[in-house]
Structure 1
Amino acid sequence: MLDLAIIGGGPAGLTAGLYATRGGLNNVVMFEMGMPGGQITGSSEIENYPGQGPVMSGMDLMASWPEQCQKFGLKHEMAEISKVEKIGDNFKLVTSDNKEFEARSVLIATGSVPRRAGFKGENEFFGRGVSTCATCDGFFYRGKEVAVIGGGDSALEEAYYLSKMCKKVYLVHRRDTYRAAPSTIAHVKNTENIEEVTNVSVEEVFGDASGVLGLRVKCNKTGEVRELPTPGVFVFVGRNVLNAPLKQADGTFLCNMSENGEVIVDLKMRTNVKGLYAAGDIRIDAAKQVVCAAADGATAAVDIIEYLG
């Protein structure tokens, strides 16, 4: 019987493992199929993690985290958890190859992944001009022109955020109306350096060995093709929440979820099911920053220690 099963090996899961083991829990296992570190390991430059001096890659930032956690007793199980069930006061975890584990408490920290828009060049230039995080990468385009693709709240909010540091922001959307809050739309329309490029389809992002040079879009009505000379393209077309382990046999979820599939938690990362916690990008209102995910993990672990007594 595990004291705590952690599902996910990103900043939230690793920090929870560190705090839980150092705080006295003896049998803590983190389930992560690949190398621990999370999505941030794919980032080429990180410069906004507190206490970090030089700019470094996400891989370098996360390199020492697993070793630090394992020093206090965290175990790493290279297995994919396909289902979590509540059995009495405890939990049963089933792996993709049908192994079973029992745990007194569970923290799910599987996160979410940005959806790709699917245009030509998106994958080729991802991390070299194509980004899904304005907070992470916007600074690199200070004083330059960027494009934001999307028409929801996230796209408009990030376009407004980028407008404060970039020379110009092209807001590119396939429709001529937005799916965003009226106040957010008003912010965008009242910002002089945001140009709305609506009712268009993204043809491709193009560039060379140095990175992105521009974005090519086609008007849905006339077929006219236009090139936007921008070295930065930010894609916000939604996220896929990795909540599959919480789905039950009857199609419902083990705990309360938002309409977007995010786990509903309180300020201590507790779900409505006793002993079940969620941290990081999978939870509602997550800031989707490494430091915030790590804080979630620590917060959850502190409460789990108290819960287990």
Structure 2
Amino acid sequence: MYKSIIIGTGPSGLTAAIYLARANMKPLVIEGPEPGGQLTTTTEVENFPGFPEGIMGPDLMANMRKQAERFGAEFRTGWVNSVDLSERPFKLQVEGQGELVAESLIISTGASAKYIGIPGEKDNVGRGVSTCATCDGFFFRGKKIIVVGGGDSAMEEANFLTRFATEVELVHRRDELRASKIMQDRARENEKINWSLNKTPIEVVANGMGVTALKVRDNATGEEELLETSGIFVAIGHTPNTGFLGGQVETDEHGYIKVKPGTTETNVPGVFACGDVQDTKYRQAITAAGSGCMAALEAEKFLDGHITQDWSVSL
């Protein structure tokens, strides 16, 4: 049994681990098949405070993990298949680990960006393909960029990227956009944004050094063409990683965990959520880390009055 188990090792989970470990809570951190979260697919991170020259995403995550381990956090690798939150202590079924039991639970499993699923896409993540304009837009200053998507997030990212790019081409597979009228109007009023509607992306083209074009098919004529570009931003949404919870924690209509405003508390006492799994607005490494700190402090406070066994013996 553990005082606290943290599921996920992105900035939020690792920050929570650092704080709980320093408080002598000896947390267990369960990392899935992609330790470190989305930052491990990012090349250089320039907007995380404390690194004036920037830092590689995988290096930042590795440093945070070392810091947590230094203070006594334990790490195990495994996929959480299911949880039982009907009573405390909570029970977790973890592939390769069996059943694990915890007095409190911090969920920091993040949200996975949706990809188009075309050849060359995943191979060039970090080399011209991105899912975060605020993270990577700076690297495309003075270049032509393509944004794929037709919703509000695509409009928002296209507008944001015009701060850096000479031209932003918005590609959508339908001839109508899903975005709200106000977001469409803002994008259409931006002279730097061009439109390629009713065109389906079919391949990301690269030269080994980076992205050079996006191959698309015109849905009306069937003709294929290459849209030259230095970067492709995929803005077709995110999927929160909450399926393993089996509906035991309250979520919104998209699957993001609901938390009490101003906290990381879920509807289940003793269960906390931090990072992108509950953040539909900011989705930044620094905000995720901040919420991880909040979750750890709130879990510590919760445990002060809700311990179900004598830990003086087991610890």
TM-score range, shorter chain: over 0.9
> Bigger shift: 104-113 or 78-87?
78-87
Task: State the match for 1:263 in structure 2.
Answer: 257
Distance 1:101 1:286 in 2: 32
Structure 1, gaps ≥5 residues long: 248-252
5 Å-filtered alignment, 1:125-144, equals 125-144=124-143
Query: Which segments of 5 or more consecutive residues in structure 2 lack a partner in the other structure?
Result: 305-315
The alignment status of 1:294 with 2:294, answered yes or no, reads no
Q: CA deviation at 1:28?
A: 1.3
Larger mean CA deviation between 93-102 and 127-136 belongs to 93-102
1:286 positional shift: 4.7
Q: Answer whether contact 1:112 1:242 (CA < 8 A) is retained.
A: yes
Cα contact 2:155–2:183 (8 A) shared by 1: yes
The number of aligned residues is 303
2:208 is matched with which residue? 209
Q: What secondary structure is seen at the aligned counterpart in 1 of 2:54?
A: coil
Counterpart AA for 2:280: D
Q: Which residue of 2 aligns with 1:250?
A: none
Aligned-partner SS, 2:28:
strand
Structure 1 position 244, deviation (Å): 2.3
Aligned to 2:85, what secondary structure does the other structure show? strand
The Cα shift of 1:189 comes to: 1.0
**Residue in structure 1 matched with residue 313 of structure 2 by the alignment:** none
TM-score of the aligned structures, taking structure 1 as reference length: 0.93
Find the aligned partners of 1:178 and 1:213 in 2 and give their Cα distance.
26
Asked if residue 106 in structure 1 is aligned to residue 109 in structure 2, the reply is no
Alignment of 1:188 with 2:187, yes or no, is yes
* Segments ≥4 residues shifted beyond 4 Å: none
Question: How much does 1:120 deviate?
Answer: 2.5
Match of 1:169 in 2: 168
Q: Identify which of 276, 280, 285 aligns with 1:281.
A: 276
| Alpha-carbon distance, 1:36 to partner | 4.1
Write the distance in 2 (CA, Å) between the matches of 1:261 and 1:10: 19
Q: Distance in 1 between matches of 2:168 and 2:34?
A: 36
Cα gap change, 1:190/1:53 in structure 2, threshold over 3 Å: closer, same or farther?
same
3-state SS of paired residue (1:4): strand
SS at match of 1:13: helix
Q: Is the 8 A contact 1:213 1:231 kept in 2?
A: yes
SS in 1 for 2:135: helix
Q: Deviations over 1:274-293 (max 9, x none)?
A: 11111111114252221111
Retained in 2: the 8 A contact 1:3–1:104? Answer: yes
Q: Is the 8 A contact 1:258 1:284 kept in 2?
A: no
